[in-house]
Amino acid sequence: MTEISFHFNAPNKVEHALKVMRKGHRLGARIVMVAPAELLSRLDQGLWVHFVQEFIPHARLGAAPEVISRSPVLLATAQDDLKASPHHEVLVSLCDEVVNGFGAFERVIEIVSTEEDDRQRARARWKSYADRGFAIERLDLAVAKESA
């Protein structure tokens, strides 16, 4: 069964997503990042410039097959067909709703900001996963930062 994790209290969702992708890449995970189109552009640019001493290979899900096969990180929107992705290890979501096709992944990470509207939408996603019988792990980034 798919593992579901919520990362709450992210001061900046894009920054946290980049950190998650970096950690996953270092661990050898193949990741699909799903976000609205405007955030994907920021994530794409961030993967080029955020980590000065390293490059995280990535591509859009619709790229040429030879590019996708060499890209451990794929960027997609919720409208993309995630079943077409060759990666099904980790799905990182910055979306407002549960992503269609999430069950094909071994793990789903939902990133939630400190904004009340985003937290409300996250509660609805949490309920949707719980109603389907998924166990959910909660990571409070504010507490994790304090203990670091």
Q: Is 136 helix (H, G, I), strand (E, B) or coil?
A: strand
Residues 73 and 18 sit within 8 Å (Cβ to Cβ): no
Over range 60-77, report the average pLDDT. Answer: 93
CA dihedral 99, 104, 108, 113 (to 10 degrees): -10
Rounded distance between C-alpha atoms, residue 83 and residue 104, angstroms: 8
Q: To which residue do tokens 């790229």 refer?
A: 63
Rounded distance between C-alpha atoms, residue 114 and residue 76, angstroms: 24
pLDDT in tens, 70-115: 999 999 999 999 988 999 999 999 999 999 999 999 999 999 999 9
Q: Would you give the end-to-end CA distance of the chain in angstroms?
A: 31
Residues 73 and 31 sit within 8 Å (Cβ to Cβ): yes
Rounded distance between C-alpha atoms, residue 90 and residue 115, angstroms: 25
- Flag whether pLDDT at 5 surpasses 80: yes
pLDDT for 83 equals 85
